[in-house]
Amino acid sequence: MLNTKKSIFMIVGALIASLAVSTAQSQTYPDRPIRLVVGFSPGGPTDLAARIAGRIMSDGLGQPVIIENRPGAGGELAANLVAKAPADGYTLLVNVTADLVSPIISKNKREPLLRSFVPVANICTAPNVLVVHPSVPAANVAELVALARKKDLNISYGSAGTGTVSHLSGVLLATSANVELTHVPYKGTAAAQSDLLSGRLSIMFDNLGNGLANAQSHKVRALAVTAATRWYAAPDVPTMKESGFPGAEIESIFGLLAPIGTSPAIVNKIAAALQAGLVKDTNRQSLLRMGLDPSAMGPTDYLNYIRAETARWEKMVSDGTLKLE
């Protein structure tokens, strides 16, 4: 009995000591630079969102924020790095939709997102735009689908990696239209864009900023946006629903995650700094010009969003609505 009581006291003492250390850390946080890890190459939408978020956080928290690009495996390399980092708020993941979906569709049985990370905040969301190389004889999505149904044609589309929204957009269109599209994964958006512009790819679900800019300069043709409504800066480009394929609607999401075990006080401090900056008009306009829609979800709302989206994709995979290659 004496040993049992002693063990209990030791456990309680350890918990109190741990809480005291955590409280002290949160009070002094941050006292050195913060690292935001991005799972994609520089220049893509995730990198752009990270750089604006980093600038906002640096202003609000009073410390430099360093962007570290670790492209590869659809963001998995970056996610693994951050998941193994100390849970002290100094190494954060700039997450994308792929980080939610990849554990569901991965053949390697990756850990579910919420087993490794704590949601901090959402930075922004963004639809994609379906663009085609000028050599593709399609003026709208219906004509593109008709081309894809011809057995002698191979319609290939590039993505930033398996599980990314640029990949899932193609899967949703192929499923909705009951056609075959060949997926070509890259290590980031920029590499796929390069092959699209050169004609090595037929189509791509590109981010709005680059996709619409390339369409305006006639390097590609914009057929539809994947949002529920038309994008304010491209009112002439219809939605996938208006094009006859409502099942192909999808938006990217960009947020911040911390390693599991990070102090709630630190998480809340980061979220508060980011949210305060995102409501400022200069920051909002910077995001909108890049085709990114500012958000304001804090830790609780972002947690609920991730849970709901995870359930959504799990259901689509299990009932066969989402057909993967």
CATH number for the domain harbouring residue 140: 3.40.190.10
Q: Is residue 17 part of a domain?
A: no
Q: Is residue 7 part of a domain?
A: no
Q: What is the average pLDDT across 207-224?
A: 93
Do 257 and 232 lie in one domain? The reply is no
Q: Is the pLDDT of residue 274 over 80?
A: yes
CATH of the domain at 52: 3.40.190.150
- By percentage, how much of the chain surpasses pLDDT 70? 89
Q: Which domain holds residue 297?
A: 32-126+251-318
- With 0.85 as the threshold, say if the pTM is over it: no
Q: Is residue 150 part of a domain?
A: yes
Q: What is the pLDDT of residue 6?
A: 58
Do 170 and 275 lie in one domain? The reply is no
Domain count, the chain: 2
Q: Is the pLDDT of residue 16 over 70?
A: no
Q: How far is CA 294 from CA 189, 238, 277, 288, in A?
A: 20, 22, 10, 7
Q: Is the pLDDT of residue 232 over 50?
A: yes
C-alpha 141/C-alpha 168 separation (Å) is 16
Do 101 and 162 lie in one domain? The reply is no
Q: Is residue 190 part of a domain?
A: yes
What is the CA 238 to chain-centroid distance, rounded?
23
pLDDT tens, position by position, 70-106: 998 778 899 999 999 999 999 999 999 888 888 887 7
Do 40 and 92 lie in one domain? The reply is yes
Q: What is the average pLDDT across 239-266?
A: 95
Do 144 and 238 lie in one domain? The reply is yes
Q: What is the pLDDT of residue 30?
A: 97
Q: What is the pLDDT of residue 3?
A: 56
pLDDT tens, position by position, 298-323: 999 999 999 998 998 888 888 876 66
Q: Is residue 87 part of a domain?
A: yes
C-alpha 190/C-alpha 44 separation (Å) is 6
Q: On the CB side of 238, how many CA atoms lie within 13 Å of its CA?
A: 13
Do 173 and 279 lie in one domain? The reply is no
**Strand 91-95 to 34-38 pairing:** parallel
Least confident of 19-23, 125-129, 236-240: 19-23
Last residue of a domain, one of 208, 230, 248: 248
Torsion 71-73-75-78 (CA) sign: negative
Q: Is residue 101 part of a domain?
A: yes
Q: Is residue 24 part of a domain?
A: no
Q: Is residue 2 part of a domain?
A: no
